[in-house]
C-alpha cells in the first residue's frame, strides 16, 4: 500500500484541477466497483452494490496550491493561495504546474521576518521577461507544491498527505471489502480545500442515508504543540467536532462500536479549527447523519506532511468494517 500512497501523493491536483489525480484513482478502483461516474464538479463517484441503504464515503482528492494572478516585466509571478497556506512554509520550496513548469518561492527584502505575508512572496520560474514567462504559464494557472514522498519506516512524509493518504485508504478499502451491507458510494471529492464544494453537490445527487468523510487531522504530539489529544501511531480518529461540523452522535457511537468490536485502535478527535467534507454532507437537503474518520497528520498544509503507516492500515480496517456493519441510527 505504500506504493499506492506514493503515487497518489506525488500526482498533480490542486483544487479545481483534479483531472490527473482523478484519472489515477479511477484506474485503481474500476475493477473493484460496479459503476463509476464523474459529475459536473469533477467528483469521482464509485458505486459498489450491496443492497439496502446508501452509505456515502467521501475523501477529497484535491490538494492545496497557488494560482497565478500577475506576471511582472521580469517574469516573476505573483499568486493567490488555493486553500490554506502559510507564507512561512513556502520560502525556498518549489511548486510545479500541470505542464511541468517548476518555480521557486522567493521573498522580497524584509526588515523583520514577522512582516512576511503572501504579498511579499513571488515565484521564480527561471526566465528573464514577461514574454518568456507567458510561454510557460498564464494568468489563472494553478501550481502544486513540489516535494517527493519519503518512507521513514512507520512514518511517511510527503506533500499532499492531506488528503491523498485518505484517498489511498478508501481505494484499499474498496479492494478489500467482501460483504458490504449497503450500496456503497465512494466519492473522491473536488474543491474541499476551497469550501467543501464537491461534497456539497455530490451529496445532493446521492442523498445517502448516512455519510462518513475520510480526512486527515492535526496532532498534539510535537514539542510545545497546540493542546490536542491526538498522536501518531495510536490509530485513526473518530471525530467529535471541527469548525464545519458537530458529528451526528449516533454515527460517532456507531463508529466507536465497530472499532471496539473488531479490535481496531482509535482516538477521539476534537479539532478546534479546520473543516471536512462532513460539514457539507450533514447540511444537505433536510440533513444527513454524518461522521468522520481521520488519519493523524503532523505539519498539515506544508510541503512535508507526516503520517504513521500503522494508523493508515488500521484506518483501512475500520472503513472496511463500517461498510460491512449496518448503521441503525
Checking if the pLDDT of 189 tops 90, the result is yes
pLDDT at residue number 178: 94
Q: Give yes or no: residues 56 and 9 share one domain.
A: yes
- 8 found inside a domain: yes
What confidence category does residue 52 fall into, taking pLDDT thresholds of 50, 70 and 90?
confident
CA–CA gap between residue 329 and residue 322 (Å, rounded): 13
What confidence category does residue 291 fall into, taking pLDDT thresholds of 50, 70 and 90?
very high
Checking if the pLDDT of 101 tops 90, the result is yes
What confidence category does residue 53 fall into, taking pLDDT thresholds of 50, 70 and 90?
very high
- 328 found inside a domain: no
Share of the chain above pLDDT 90, in %: 97
Q: Are 190 and 145 a contacting pair, CB within 8 Å?
A: no
Q: Give yes or no: residues 95 and 136 share one domain.
A: yes
Q: Residue 105 is part of a domain; what is its CATH number?
A: 2.40.30.40
- 314 found inside a domain: yes
Q: What value does the mean pLDDT take over residues 205-222?
A: 97
Within 8 A by CB and 6+ apart from 255, the residues are: 212, 238, 266, 291, 293, 318, 322
Q: Give yes or no: residues 104 and 50 share one domain.
A: no
Mean per-residue pLDDT of the chain: 97
Q: Residue 208 is part of a domain; what is its CATH number?
A: 3.40.630.10
Checking if the pLDDT of 51 tops 90, the result is no
Cα dist. 102→127, 148, 176 in Å?
Answer: 11, 14, 38
- 92 found inside a domain: yes
Q: Give yes or no: residues 309 and 218 share one domain.
A: yes
Q: Domain of residue 187: give its range.
A: 2-63+159-323
Q: Give yes or no: residues 47 and 69 share one domain.
A: no
- 164 found inside a domain: yes
Q: Give yes or no: residues 141 and 269 share one domain.
A: no
Ranges of H-type helices in the chain:
2-9, 19-29, 130-134, 161-176, 197-206, 249-261, 278-282, 309-323
Parallel, antiparallel, or unpaired for β 94-97 and 102-107? antiparallel
- 329 found inside a domain: no
Among the options 28, 172, 192, 193, which is catalytic? 192
- 193 found inside a domain: yes
Q: What value does the mean pLDDT take over residues 211-223?
A: 97
Among 98, 114, 146, give the residue marking a domain's end: 146
pTM, whole model, 2 decimals?
0.96
Q: Give yes or no: residues 55 and 198 share one domain.
A: yes
Cα dist. 23→6, 26, 61, 184, 270 in Å?
Answer: 16, 5, 11, 20, 34
DSSP 3-state assignment of 75? Answer: coil
CA–CA gap between residue 39 and residue 249 (Å, rounded): 30
Q: Is 192 a catalytic residue?
A: yes
What confidence category does residue 23 fall into, taking pLDDT thresholds of 50, 70 and 90?
very high
What confidence category does residue 226 fall into, taking pLDDT thresholds of 50, 70 and 90?
confident
Number of domains in the chain: 2
Among 121, 146, 171, give the residue marking a domain's end: 146
Q: Are 231 and 77 a contacting pair, CB within 8 Å?
A: no
Q: Give yes or no: residues 196 and 226 share one domain.
A: yes
Share of the chain above pLDDT 70, in %: 100
Q: Give yes or no: residues 166 and 283 share one domain.
A: yes
Angle, CA 170 vertex, CA 153 and CA 329 arms, to 5°: 125
- 30 found inside a domain: yes
Among 113, 146, 179, give the residue marking a domain's end: 146
Q: What value does the mean pLDDT take over residues 18-37?
A: 98
Q: Give yes or no: residues 129 and 93 share one domain.
A: yes
Q: Give yes or no: residues 22 and 166 share one domain.
A: yes
pLDDT tens sequence across 120-157: 999 999 999 999 999 999 999 999 999 999 999 999 99
What confidence category does residue 329 fall into, taking pLDDT thresholds of 50, 70 and 90?
confident
Q: Give yes or no: residues 188 and 241 share one domain.
A: yes
Give the sheet arrangement for strand 150-151, strand by strand.
150-151, 155-158, 305-308
Amino acid at each position: 500500500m505504500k506504493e499506492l500512497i506514493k503515487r497518489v501523493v506525488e500526482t498533480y491536483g490542486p483544487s479545481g484541477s483534479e483531472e490527473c489525480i482523478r484519472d489515477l484513482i479511477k484506474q485503481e478502483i474500476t475493477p473493484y466497483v460496479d459503476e463509476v461516474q464523474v459529475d459536473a464538479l469533477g467528483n469521482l463517484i464509485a458505486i459498489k452494490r450491496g443492497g439496502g441503504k446508501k452509505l456515502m464515503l467521501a475523501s477529497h482528492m484535491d490538494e492545496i496550491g497557488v494560482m497565478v494572478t500577475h506576471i511582472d516585466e521580469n517574469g516573476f509571478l505573483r499568486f493567490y493561495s488555493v486553500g490554506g497556506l502559510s507564507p512561512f512554509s513556502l520560502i525556498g520550496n518549489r511548486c510545479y504546474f500541470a505542464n511541468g513548469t517548476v518555480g521557486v518561492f522567493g521573498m522580497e527584502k524584509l526588515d523583520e521576518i514577522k512582516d512576511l505575508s503572501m504579498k511579499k512572496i513571488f515565484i521564480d520560474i527561471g526566465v528573464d521577461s514577461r514574454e518568456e514567462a507567458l510561454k510557460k504559464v498564464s494568468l489563472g494557472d494553478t501550481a502544486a507544491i513540489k516535494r517527493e514522498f519519503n518512507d521513514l519506516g512507520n512514518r511517511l512524509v510527503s506533500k499532499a498527505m492531506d488528503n491523498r493518504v485518505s484517498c489511498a485508504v478508501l481505494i484499499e478499502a474498496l479492494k478489500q471489502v467482501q460483504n458490504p451491507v449497503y450500496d456503497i458510494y465512494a466519492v473522491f471529492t473536488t474543491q474541499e480545500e476551497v469550501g467543501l464544494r464537491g461534497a456539497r453537490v455530490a451529496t445532493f445527487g446521492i442523498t445517502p442515508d448516512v455519510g462518513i468523510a475520510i480526512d486527515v487531522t492535526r496532532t498534539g504530539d510535537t514539542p510545545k504543540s497546540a493542546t490536542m489529544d491526538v498522536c501518531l501511531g495510536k490509530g485513526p480518529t473518530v471525530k467529535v467536532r471541527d469548525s464545519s461540523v458537530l458529528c451526528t452522535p449516533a454515527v460517532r457511537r456507531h463508529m466507536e462500536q465497530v472499532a471496539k468490536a473488531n479490535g481496531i485502535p482509535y482516538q477521539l478527535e476534537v479539532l478546534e479549527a479546520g473543516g471536512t467534507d462532513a460539514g457539507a454532507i450533514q447540511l444537505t437537503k433536510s440533513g444527513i447523519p454524518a461522521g468522520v474518520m481521520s488519519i493523524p497528520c503532523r505539519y498539515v498544509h506544508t510541503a512535508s506532511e507526516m503520517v504513521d503507516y500503522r494508523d493508515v492500515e488500521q484506518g483501512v480496517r475500520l472503513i472496511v468494517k463500517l461498510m460491512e456493519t449496518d448503521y441503525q441510527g
